[in-house]
Structure 1
Amino acid sequence: MNSGLAFSWPTRVYWEDTDAGGVVYHAQYLAFLERARTEWMRAQGYGQELLRLNHDLVFAVRAMQIDFLRPARLDDALQVGVSLRECRRASAVFAQDVRRGDEVLLTATVRVAALDAAGFRPRPIPQPLLDGLKALEGR
C-alpha cells in the first residue's frame, strides 16, 4: 500500500528499531523519515553525493514538527511518504508520513537548510537546482 503523499519508500520494523515491548522507539522514526527524503531526492536525480560533488551542497534538517498518532510494532511493513511542500532560495519544507497499510501512524513537517558541503555554512541553492526543485513542489 502506498502513502498518501507523492513518493513512498517501503521499510520494515526490525528488532533494533524497537524498545523492549516491540514498539518502534520514537527517535527511530527520524531515521525512517531521513531515508525516505534521501530516496526521494535520488529518484528526482539529486542524489546526495551528486549534490555534494557537483554543487558543493548538502541539506541539513533545521526544524521538524512530528505528530505521533499510532505506534508501529516489530515486523510491521511501513510506507514512508514524502512530498516537497515548498522550496525557497536556501531551504525546503517537506511533508512526510508513515503508514501501515491505510493507517497513518505519524505525520511530519521537515524544514531543511542548504549548506555548503565544505564548511557547513548556509548558502543559496544554485538556480538550476532551485528551478528543478520548485517544479516538484506539491508532487
Structure 2
Amino acid sequence: MTQAALVEPAVDHGHVEPIAIYFDDLDAMGIVHNARYAVLLERAVTPYWTARGHYFDHNGPSTPDLFHAVREFAITYHRPIRGAGQVLVHFWLDKLGETSAQYRFRFLSRDGATCYAEGRRAIVRLDPATLRPTPWTESAREVATSLLKPEEVA
C-alpha cells in the first residue's frame, strides 16, 4: 500500500469511505487475505447507514431493514493491498428493487489512483419470522436512493 495522503476522490455517485486495514486482515505474505474483502466492505458501508439512522446497538436493530442477507458477492482482484494502513472504498447502488439491492464497489489506494479490487454484492431484505423476502421501508429506500447512480434514480 502506498503512503500517499488520504484524498477522497470526487465521485458523481455513491460514497467514498476510508477504512483501516489491520494486521489481522493480512495473510502470511503481508497482503490483504482474499476472504477479508467482504468484511472490509462492511466496514465501509456500515458507517454510511449508521449516520443515516440505520444501526445496531444494545437495543438491537434501529430499523427492520437491517435484517437482510447477502445473496451474491463477486470480486475481481487487480492488485494486492500490502500491509496495514488505510484504503478508500467507493460504493454505490446499481439497482434498488422492492426487496433487494445490488451494490457495486471499488477498493482504492489512499490517493484514489489505484484500484485494488472491484465487485458487486447483492442483498435481500428478509422477514425475520418467515425468512422470505419483504419490501424495504420508506426510510431505507430514501437512504438507498442517495447511493444510486444518477441515471438509476427514478
- For structure 2, the residue ranges without an aligned partner over 5 or more in a row are 1-6
Matched, 1:16 2:17: no
How far apart are residue 111 of structure 1 and its match? 0.5
Residue pairs, 1:30-109, within 5 angstroms: 30-48=38-56, 52-55=61-64, 57-100=66-109, 101=111, 102-109=113-120
Calculate the aligned-residue CA RMSD, in Å.
2.5
Query: For each residue in 1:48-103, what CA deviation from the matched residue of structure 2 results, as whole angstroms up to 9, or x when unmatched?
Result: 56993443651221102211111001124201121122211000111111111221
Q: Under a length normalisation based on structure 2, what TM-score does the superposition of the two structures give?
A: 0.75
Q: Distance in 2 between matches of 1:56 and 1:82?
A: 19
Q: Are 2:121 and 1:110 aligned?
A: yes
Whether contact under 8 Å (1:79, 1:99) holds in the other structure is yes
How many residue pairs align between the two structures?
138
Query: Is 1:135 aligned with 2:141?
Result: no
Indicate conservation of the 8 Å contact 1:57/1:116, yes or no: no
Contact 2:21 2:87 in 1 (8 A): yes
CA contact (8 A) 2:54 2:66 kept: no
Query: Match for 1:29 among 21, 29, 37?
Result: 37
Contact 2:98 2:136 in 1 (8 A): yes
Give the C-alpha shift of residue 118 in structure 1.
4.7
Percent of pairs identical after alignment? 25
Between stretches 1-10 and 50-59, larger displacement belongs to 50-59
Code of the residue aligned with 2:27 in structure 1: it is: D
Q: Which runs of 5+ in 1 are unaligned?
A: none
Moved over 6 A (4+): none
